[in-house]
Chain A
Amino acid sequence: AQKITQTQPGMFVQEKEAVTLDCTYDTSDQSYGLFWYKQPSSGEMIFLIYQGSYDEQNATEGRYSLNFQKARKSANLVISASQLGDSAMYFCAMRSVRMDSSYKLIFGSGTRLLVRP
C-alpha cells in the first residue's frame, strides 16, 4: 500500500532562515510522482513543486527545492530565506504513474510551519 509520512506536526523557523520539512513515502511502484502543496490559513491548496521518480536532478522552484533521496524514500521540502507569508500547512503527496492507477494523490498528515519575525 502507498503511504506518505510527515513526522513533524509543527515547526518554527526564524524569518530569512532556511527550513526543511520532512516527507517519507512507501510504495512498491517504480514510477511515481511526489508533490508538495501549501495550505495557508485561508484554506486553499497551492501547488509548490513536483519530483518524478526518474528525475535525476532535484526539483527547484524559486525558493523551494526538493531534496529527493530515492534509496531512502524521502522527499523533503527545503524553503530558503523564509518569509512571514510562508506560515502555513504543508502537505507532501504522491501519485502512482501506473497505467491502471486511479490518478489519486496520497497525502501525508501535514506539517504546520510558523515563521517568526
Chain B
Amino acid sequence: EAQVTQNPRYLITVTGKKLTVTCSQNMNHEYMSWYRQDPGLGLRQIYYSMNVEVTDKGDVPEGYKVSRKEKRNFPLILESPSPNQTSLYFCASAPYLRGSNQPQHFGDGTRLSIL
C-alpha cells in the first residue's frame, strides 16, 4: 500500500529535550515536505526537499532541522524544543514533475506537546 508513515503519532516531552519525528514514504517520490498545523492558521511549510541531499527552508523553519540522506526518509529534528513548537505536524511527499500538479500525499500526523 502506498503511504507516508510518520512516527511517533503522539509525543509529550519537555523543553530542551532533543527529539526526532521520522517520516518514510514507499512511493519513490522525489519531493518531501514538513508542515505544521495550528488552529486558525491552516498548514505552514517548515522544510522541504526536492531530492536526496537537497533541502531548503519553508515559511517557518526556525527551531527545526531536517536531513535527506535517503530518498524514502525525511526526519524532522527539534534540537531544543520549546512550548511554541507544540503543534500537529505533517509529512508529505509527491513526485517531482515540473509543470505538473500531482497532489501531495500526507502522513497521518504527529501531535507534539512540549511542556
Contact = CB atoms under 8 A, between A and B. Distances in A.
A50 B48 contact: no
B106 to A, nearest CB: 4
A93 B103 CA distance: 10
A103 B99 CA distance: 10
A103 B96 contact: yes
Interface residues of A, number: 26
Nearest to B99: A97
Given A97-B99, A109-B40, A109-B42, A103 B94 contact: yes
A108 to B, nearest CB: 5
Contacts of A102: 45, 48, 56, 58
A11 interface: no
Interface residues of B, number: 31
Contact of A47 (B45, B103, B109): B103
Interface string B43-71: 11100101000001011000000000000
Contacts of B88: 43
B103 A4 contact: no
Interface string A34-45: 010100001111
Contact of A107 (B43, B50, B94): B43
Contacts of A91: 42-43
Contacts of A110: 42
A38 to B, nearest CB: 11
A99 interface: yes
Interface string B97-111: 011110111111101
Nearest to A105: B104
A52 B101 contact: yes
Given A43-B88, A43-B109, A44-B106, A105 B45 contact: yes
Contacts of B50: 103
Contact of B31 (A52, A97, A99, A103): A103
Interface in A39-92: 42-47, 50, 52, 91
17 contacts: A4-B42, A31-B99, A33-B101, A42-B108, A43-B108, A43-B109, A44-B107, A44-B109, A45-B90, A46-B106, A52-B101, A99-B99, A102-B45, A102-B58, A104-B48, A105-B92, A108-B42
